[in-house]
Amino acid sequence: MRRIYVFIVVLLVVSLLDLFYFGRYAQATIRLYDGKLILSGFVKETMYYRTDQTEREKKFRDNSFDYAKTSAYLEALYTIKESPDLTVRLFGGVKWWYEASHRLDEKQNRYIAHRMKKDYVHPRSFDDDILTEAYIDIIKGPWQVRIGKQIVIWGQLDVERVADVVNPLDFRWNVPGIDTWEEVKKGLWMLRGFYQSQLPGTLLFEAIFNPGYFQELVLPYTGTHWGAPYSEPFGASGIDFFSWQQEKWHRDAPTWNLGKNYEWGLRIRGYTWGIDWTLLYWNGLSDSPVIHPQRAARLSQQYIFAALRANATGSTIQPGDWPDYKVAYYKRMQTFGGTAQYYAAWLRGSVWRLEWFFNKGQPFNRGGRGEADEVDDWTRRDTYGFAISYSDKFAIPWFTRSRIAASKRLDVTVTYSWDKIINNSHALYKSALNHRPGDSVADGFSLFLMQMMFNGEWTFVFIGSYKPRIKKWFGAPTLTYTFPGEHWRVDIGYKFYGASRGYTQGIYHDKDALILRIRYEF
């Protein structure tokens, strides 16, 4: 508990220091060897204080601090050779973390599954956890080749992930809206090439080939801050059924296999009539699995027997208790899509962005009323959709010209997204897509606001979303103080979730929490 109190005291003190001092906005990099080596990164402490725990969940908690993560990230760019004819660079990124909430809460420490707690608390694998990117970048004339582990950003929108399809996501600690995509994405080993043509529109051609390094979508662990609440049955066995099932999905995920698990994609980028546009194609394995229904039923039975045996012997479920037959299948699918960005000088200087997609053969489980516990088969459906955003700056009467805002206008971005399942049926399991049962269409709005104050020393940011068809919402206002010296930042904010119907709540519905964060950037 001492760590909590020290952190809060330090946070409150530094947040109130120099309130009216006009500092500079944080920009920080380290340049060495005459600029050939550029280092940047951060060290960050993040804590969430839960304000909406359910009565059932309180039985598995000693206090409301269920997230206390110390993290660090370092990226390095080293230029080996730079000339008009040839440029060769090395880029690498590594991260480290320690999530200490289990040290602050004995009950949480007891109820998180042992194997998952090890993966959650700190890195265990250099390739999977620590190394985010590592590639060589070679530029010769109009050609550019990157070979190694990479994170690719094909989309242009912040919250709605429509055309950004290359890298899988890891939701164990971070979620879109609260954290950046770079913190949520998992790097992939790949060969990536570019060709800058002289064709009309200055077309840039891009190709990606992943030789078979597959990484699946990772869901948050039961009992952790972002995960589902712990369930009481077989608690003494050391793992609940959702964690048991999730571990089996991980064990069934494909590994290196050039013949089966390869992925590839193409993208063209151009500039025509003032529009910065792209067209893309991706052929790869779905990041999330479909479940074999009969084997899933056997998996449930085996879990019950393993849990009863563990309880009877006073032990926990052991790794050997997981069955060796396959339950989760990661199916191949194709994505066609594109993006467009347009600066409308004639319309207040606003920026318009569009992303669209068409998924060919997207895999779905099906059965009964589309509920997870009624799965009896799997099938494919084509899906399509889009997201469009509008960004502008607005002057607020009196406030913009005041000493607080110092003529900095309010940045506003509004995004609308829409998607549809072709040949939809009630039996499709699609709750993860924010669809109502039986509804082929889902849509939503998101809002981003940013107001800089006191010459950028203070920044207010609000990110929120609303899904009207399922009446589900999310919001996160945050106030950031940037210290003079361009390195230290302090964030104080709040995140809240809601839904008007129980079946649309999802696992985040009771994650309302106070956000406390200190960052040192370099």
Task: Provide the token pair at 446.
Answer: 């998101």
Q: Give the residue from 219, 292, 216 showing the smallest Cα distance to 254.
A: 216
Q: Nearest CA to 179 among 263, 97, 289, 265?
A: 97
Contacts (Cβ under 8 Å, ≥6 apart) of 7: 45, 47, 68, 516, 518
In the chain (522 residues long), the average pLDDT of successive 10-residue segments reads 42 37 48 92 93 76 86 95 95 94 77 75 90 97 97 80 86 77 86 96 97 90 81 58 79 85 96 96 93 80 75 66 82 95 94 95 79 74 95 95 93 95 83 76 94 93 92 93 89 90 66 93 89
Longest pairwise C-alpha distance within the chain: 74
Q: How far is CA 199 from CA 126, 300, 337, 339, in A?
A: 43, 58, 22, 19
N-to-C CA span, the chain: 30
The pLDDT of residue 500 is 75
Q: Could you identify the residue written with the tokens 């080996």?
A: 80
Q: Are strands 332-344 and 275-285 parallel, antiparallel or unpaired?
A: antiparallel
| Coil vs helix vs strand at 50 | strand
Residue 65 one-letter amino acid:
F
d(CA 237, CA 311): 6
User: CA distances (Å), 482 to each of 25, 247, 249, 502, in order?
Assistant: 7, 41, 42, 40
**Helices 241-252 + 114-121 axis angle, to 10:** 70
Contacts 24+ apart (CB under 8 A), 30-34: 30/522
Distance (Å, rounded) from C-alpha 189 to C-alpha 147?
Answer: 8
Q: How far apart are CA 453 and CA 450, in angstroms?
A: 10
Neighbouring residues of 354: CB distance < 8 A, sequence distance ≥ 6: 339, 340, 341, 386, 387, 388, 389
Entry pTM: 0.87
